[in-house]
C-alpha cells in the first residue's frame, strides 16, 4: 500500500505550461484524501500556482497541507501552512549571484555558437528560477506547445548545447528538462534529491512511494528517481496519467 504519490508536472499532469484539466483537479482532490502528494518539476513556484494550486479552489486546508511542491527540480520545497493559510518554503538551495551570471553567459554563448538561439522568442529564453535554478527555454517560456514538441524531440540539440556550455560552468550541473529546456543547478540537486528530502520530511521509505513521469529514460529529468529505486510508472502524457489514476481510485473505493 503506497502512502505517497509523486508526479512530474508538464506532460505528466498536464500539457506543458498549461493548467491541469477539470478532471485532473477532481482526481487530485480525491487523492489528497488518501495520500500525501508531491509534484516535482523544473518550474518556479509561480508556475505551480498557475498550473495546479490556483485550480484546487475546492480543496480543504487539510487536503492542501498534504500537497508538497518541489520547485526547480527539488531545489525549493514549499508546503501549505494551514494555520497561517499560506505557502511557505521548507528549504531553498540557492545559486550564488556569480553562478547565475556565468550560467546565463554560458547558455547564450553555446546556443548562439550552435545556431540554436531564437532571435524572436515567445518570452524569456533564459530565466533565473527563484535563485535556485537557471533554465534555458530555447523558443521562449511562452512558446506554443506544438512548436516546443517539434523543436528537439530526440534531445540532440540540447545535448550539443550542454556539451559546449558545461566546460564554462564546471561547478554546476546541467540537465535536459522539458520539451525545449535545460536546467542548471548546484551539483546533485535533481529530482532524486527532492524525493530523498521528502522521504525524510514524511518519515517514509522508497517502498511507500509511487512516482509518475514522462522522461524516465536515461538522461531524462525523471531518470534520477528511477535510478534511486523508486517504483515508477512511465506515462506518455497527462491523459495516460489520468487513466492510471482513475484505476487507483477505483481500487480504493
Per-residue confidence (pLDDT) for residue 22, from 0 to 100: 98
Mean pLDDT, residues 163-167 taken together: 97
pTM of the model: 0.83
- For residue 253, pLDDT over 80 is answered with no
Helix (H) or strand (E) holding 182: strand 181-185
Per-residue confidence (pLDDT) for residue 87, from 0 to 100: 97
Contact in structure between 194 and 73 (CB atoms under 8 Å): yes
Instruction: Summarize pLDDT for 115-145 with one digit per residue, the tens.
Output: 999 999 999 999 998 888 999 999 998 898 8
Radius of gyration of the chain measured on its C-alpha atoms: 18
Environment class of 237 (CB within 10 Å of its CB; exposed 0-12, middle 13-18, buried 19+): middle
Instruction: Summarize pLDDT for 87-113 with one digit per residue, the tens.
Output: 999 998 889 999 999 999 999 999 999
Mean pLDDT, residues 13-17 taken together: 92
Per-residue confidence (pLDDT) for residue 245, from 0 to 100: 98
| Interatomic CA distance for residues 2 and 199, integer angstroms | 13
Torsion angle defined by CA atoms of residues 47, 4, 66 and 86, in that order, rounded to the nearest 10 degrees: -30
Q: Where are the alpha helices (DSSP H) in 35-142?
A: 45-51, 61-64, 97-114
Mean pLDDT, residues 158-166 taken together: 97
Q: How confident is the model at residue 225 (pLDDT cuts 50, 70, 90)?
A: very high
Mean pLDDT, residues 23-38 taken together: 98
Per-residue confidence (pLDDT) for residue 72, from 0 to 100: 86
- For residue 31, pLDDT over 80 is answered with yes
**Domains of the chain by start residue, with CATH:** 4-93+189-252 (3.40.50.1000), 97-185 (3.30.1240.20)
- For residue 221, pLDDT over 90 is answered with no
Per-residue confidence (pLDDT) for residue 153, from 0 to 100: 92
Q: Where are the alpha helices (DSSP H) in the chain?
A: 22-31, 45-51, 61-64, 97-114, 145-151, 156-165, 191-202, 223-227, 238-252
Going by the DSSP 8-state scheme, the letter that residue 10 receives in this structure is B
**Phi-psi category of residue 74: left, alpha or beta, with phi > 0 → left and psi -120 to 50 → alpha:** left
Mean pLDDT, residues 144-161 taken together: 93
Per-residue confidence (pLDDT) for residue 178, from 0 to 100: 79
Instruction: Summarize pLDDT for 229-251 with one digit per residue, the tens.
Output: 999 999 999 999 999 999 999 98
- For residue 77, pLDDT over 90 is answered with yes
Strand partners, 133: 129
Per-residue confidence (pLDDT) for residue 43, from 0 to 100: 86
Mean of per-residue pLDDT scores for the chain: 94
234-to-51, 165, 222, 223 alpha-carbon distances in Å: 21, 30, 9, 10
Q: Which three cell numbers stand for residue 23?
A: 478532471
| Interatomic CA distance for residues 222 and 215, integer angstroms | 5
Per-residue confidence (pLDDT) for residue 188, from 0 to 100: 82
Q: Which three cell numbers stand for residue 234?
A: 512511465
Per-residue exposure over 114-140, b if at least 16 CB sit within 10 Å of its own CB, e if not: eebbeeebeeebbbbbbbbbbbbbbbb
Amino acid at each position: 500500500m503506497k502512502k505517497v504519490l509523486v508526479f512530474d508536472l508538464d506532460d505528466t499532469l498536464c500539457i506543458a505550461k498549461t493548467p491541469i484539466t477539470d478532471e485532473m483537479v477532481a482526481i487530485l482532490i480525491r487523492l489528497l484524501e488518501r495520500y500525501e502528494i508531491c509534484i516535482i518539476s523544473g518550474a518556479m513556484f509561480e508556475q505551480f500556482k498557475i498550473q495546479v494550486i490556483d485550480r484546487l479552489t475546492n480543496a480543504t486546508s487539510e487536503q492542501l497541507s498534504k500537497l508538497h511542491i518541489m520547485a526547480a527540480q527539488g531545489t525549493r520545497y514549499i508546503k501549505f501552512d494551514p494555520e497561517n493559510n499560506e505557502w511557505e518554503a521548507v528549504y531553498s538551495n540557492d545559486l550564488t549571484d556569480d553562478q547565475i551570471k556565468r550560467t546565463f553567459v554560458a547558455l547564450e554563448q553555446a546556443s548562439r555558437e550552435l545556431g540554436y538561439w531564437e532571435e524572436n522568442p515567445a518570452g524569456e529564453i533564459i530565466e533565473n528560477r527563484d535563485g535556485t535554478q537557471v533554465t534555458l527555454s530555447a523558443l521562449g517560456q511562452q512558446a506554443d506547445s506544438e512548436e516546443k514538441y517539434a523543436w528537439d524531440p530526440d534531445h540532440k540539440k540540447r545535448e550539443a548545447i550542454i556539451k559546449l556550455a558545461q566546460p564554462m560552468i564546471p561547478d554546476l550541473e546541467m540537465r535536459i528538462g522539458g520539451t525545449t529546456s535545460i536546467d542548471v543547478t548546484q551539483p546533485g540537486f535533481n529530482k532524486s534529491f527532492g524525493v530523498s528530502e521528502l522521504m525524510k520530511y514524511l518519515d517514509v521509505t522508497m517502498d511507500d512511494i509511487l512516482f509518475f513521469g514522462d522522461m524516465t529514460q536515461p538522461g531524462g529529468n525523471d531518470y534520477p528517481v528511477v535510478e534511486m529505486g523508486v517504483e515508477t510508472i512511465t506515462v506518455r502524457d497527462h491523459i495516460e496519467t489520468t487513466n492510471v489514476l482513475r484505476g487507483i481510485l477505483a481500487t480504493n473505493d
